[in-house]
Amino acid sequence: MRYGHFDDQRREYVITTPLTPLPWINYLGNRDFFSLRSNTGGGYSFFRDAKLLRLTRYRYNNSPADNNGHYFYIQDSNTVWNPGFMPTRTPLDRYSCRHGLGYTIVEGCRSGVNAKQEIFVPLEDSCEVTRLTLTNESLVEKHLELFSLVEFCLWNALEDMSNFQRNFSTGEVEVEGSAIYHKTEYRERRDHYAVFGVNASIVGFDTDRDAFCGTCRGFSDPETVYIGQSHNSIAHGWAPIGSHHIHIDLQPGEQRSLIFLLGYCENSKGEKFSAPGVINKTPAMRLLEKYRTDAQVDQALKALQDYWDKLLGHFILSSNDKKLNRMVNIWNQYQCMITFNMSRSASYFESGLGRGMGFRDSCQDLLGFVHLVPERARARILDIAATQFLDGSTYHQYQPLTKRGNADIGSGFNDDPLWLISGVSAYLRETGDFSILAESCAFDNDPATAAPLLEHLRRSFQYTVEHIGPHGLPLIGRADWNDCLNLNCFSHEPGESFQTFGPSEGPVAESVLIAGMFVRFGGEYAEICRHLGLADEAARAEEEVLRMKNTVLSTGWDGNWFLRAYDAASQPVGSCSCSEGQIYIEPQGMCVMAGIGLEDGRAHQALESVRERLDSEYGIVLLQPAYTAYHPELGEISSYPPGYKENAGIFCHVNPWISCAETILSHGTRAFEVYRRTCPAWQEDHSEIRRTEPYVYCQMVAGKDAPTFGEGKNSWLTGTAAWSFVNISQYILGIQPTLDGLRVDPCLPADMPGFTITRIYRGAIYHITVDNSAGAERGVSSVTINGKAQADTLLPLLPPGSVAEILVTMK
């Protein structure tokens, strides 16, 4: 069942009913200001940090769902309705929501009045702009009362939802003309405020939630709207809101637009006030003036469109598969940008209150983003590296506002250091900018410890070398990529953190996954060293990598697949000797991607075991059999019901690892089959089962052991986005950035006749045509560049600005 459709020409997903299984959202924002918008107008806004600088309030997991947002109420005679259906839930005669790249358009019609909300965050300013266009489509004159609404958050979102004894005495506002200013705490420690204004005269306003809603009423039936009259309330303490009241008369066929702006403003400490107790509104007035006319809004929307045209022009696919084209050209790359901006901090599943930016998460997000805006990737790498410790270990998370490590969860996730190598390697392969390795970068954000970035990579590599367990495999610490596999925790009491309780970081539990990562990313580190002329260091690194590869083959192999780990008692995890959790997906993908077992057939056998034991209709489950009892020696993974999350759920993040691994073995048809099963465009027809948005990846889909098999959760902010793009662009389509240039080495399904790709790489434009009329899965017979034969699949580096026509023929 579908609830909408793709509009590929406009690069939108069009939702045709407000009654989607879950709120289907979009992200609006640039580098600093962000808004989440649902298909019914729900959502929230923040500046840089979703916890510390939240502008508007949002109530998670509310019932009904998604009843907080930036709403418009229209009173037409005795009827009150919203263009996006929520929160009044008044039935609409016509409805649509168009989620596009950086904007959302919600449109509703009731009794001959059409209301169109165009919502976006401009590229250069810290604000959300909404243009509301009202059209009288009836044959009679309309007399409408329009009420806007935002509910302000008291900045710190955690305090806002918990410290009521303080909060309900702090709210402060000012109203000047048609602008409402949220200045809570401004006269003490804050130098910032929010403004909510409109480019029209108002007949009234409200800034106090209780006055707006009335006694025993809420946002679904606010008294102010139903009586058609604002109270002109000024919030003092309690809960501040922003609401404008505008009277609108429309003749038949007449149309009127109104422009609303929600903005974040800062002043220097010496310029906070224009008069005693009166905030300096100069930055707010500049914002309001900049988006006052339709022409200004149109110009900003055009700039946003041009921005995405340019970004998505770096990788454009044309094939005979429209679903593949739309995912590669639009939605997958768009989601990669969002995950780069947000990491895992703020979504409808993550409250934005604690996680901040994940170290591992942000490094992986770079993999799918670096080709879009390399300079931002460069800056992010240096931010990430500055949260590393002197011994090579890292904070597991850091806060985007302070860029400092999150001490609450600390370090001890022993895969983290290797992900830094992965992210830097991806940047070097994309840009060839080796100067980043000489950049001075602090350890633990202490300038006194600053060293070149290359030293950070060196310590990342050495950390694994120096933390080896009794089987010769890397120590897992608190966890590796799978945060829920806690082999050093042993929690028995509810409420204890699985990651930080107990011994937590040791002493002897080991990870085969980290071993596979070390072989793969340690090899990339050695390659970087060799490229820099550090031959001795490269050779030493290659020796360590070879040693680990042999160790995996001797102590990490279970007969038909790779083991997952050894627990704190040195008992195998992910072994046929286990009663449950006999085989895990992660080491099968990572070890084969690292090239382990290629020579003796074990790589092939591991992937066959995945097909036989872990495959399902909606993707590959994380493990089998599912855990049916809690295992303290395994931790959180066994706390979930069978089929959910890490306990045999379909963890979409690692499904691409298997697809990538299949291409290593030249299994193009199988690789594409794995790719399609978790790809949202191929799941659109089952939206009533999947429930999450059909245009973006989700982190997890309920596995075959779950009663809700196929149901998606945790959409948008997931490493699935980056790894899926790496999988399809580099492994299946085979357009591979290397330290020395661009390599073309596709591994395709046999029935794909070929494709063309435009790839901007290091400033040059490569038009690549792959001819697979032979129906091959792997193998290149010839390469020509501008009509001249090329001896290798590695294309020569071209000068920036040049254009090349490449023809690749498969055999």
DSSP state letters, 649-683: -EEGGGHHHHHHHHHHTT-HHHHHHHHHHH-HHHH
SS3 770: strand
Angle between helical axes of 294-312 and 332-342 (0-180°, round to 10): 100
* Secondary structure (DSSP) of 616-642: -TTS--SEESPP-S--TTTGGGGTSPT
**Helix 359-369 and helix 374-385: axis angle, to 10°?**
160
**Closest by CA position to 344, among listed 327, 320, 329, 364:** 364
Q: Are 763 and 769 in contact (CB under 8 A)?
A: no
416-431 vs 359-369: helix crossing angle, rounded to 10 = 20
Rounded Cα gap, residues 795 and 805, in angstroms = 11
C-alpha distance from residue 20 to each of 14, 17, 691, 697, 768 (Å): 12, 7, 8, 17, 40
State the amino acid at position 14 in one-letter form: V
Which three-class secondary structure state does DSSP give residue 442? strand
Beta strands per DSSP E along 397-548: 397-398, 440-443, 446-452, 510-511
Distance, in Å, from the CA atom of 444 to the CA atom of 606, rounded to the nearest integer, reads 39
- Residue 306: phi and psi, rounded to 5, are -65, -40
Q: Is 483 one of the annotated active-site residues of the chain?
A: yes
Nearest to 345 by CA among 127, 51, 128: 51
Cβ neighbours of 709 (radius 10 Å): 17
Which of the following is catalytic: 49, 416, 483, 558? 483
728 contacts 675 by C-beta, under 8 angstroms: yes
Using CA atoms, how far apart are residues 117 and 82, in angstroms rounded to an integer?
Answer: 11
SS3 100: coil
Measured distance CA(228)–CA(79) in Å, rounded: 11
Are the C-beta atoms of residues 360 and 394 closer than 8 Å to each other?
no
Among 313, 218, 230, 255, which Cα is nearest to 131's? 255
754 neighbors 769 (Cβ within 8 angstroms)? yes
CA angle 696, 702, 707 (to 5 degrees): 140
| 385-to-403, 432, 523 alpha-carbon distances in Å | 10, 19, 20
DSSP string computed for 423-436 = HHHHHHHHH--GGG
Helix (H, G, I), strand (E, B) or coil at 16: coil
Look at residues 129, 61, 519 and name the one whose alpha carbon lies nearest to residue 301. Answer: 129
> What CA–CA distance (Å, rounded) separates 416 from 499?
14
Active site members = 483
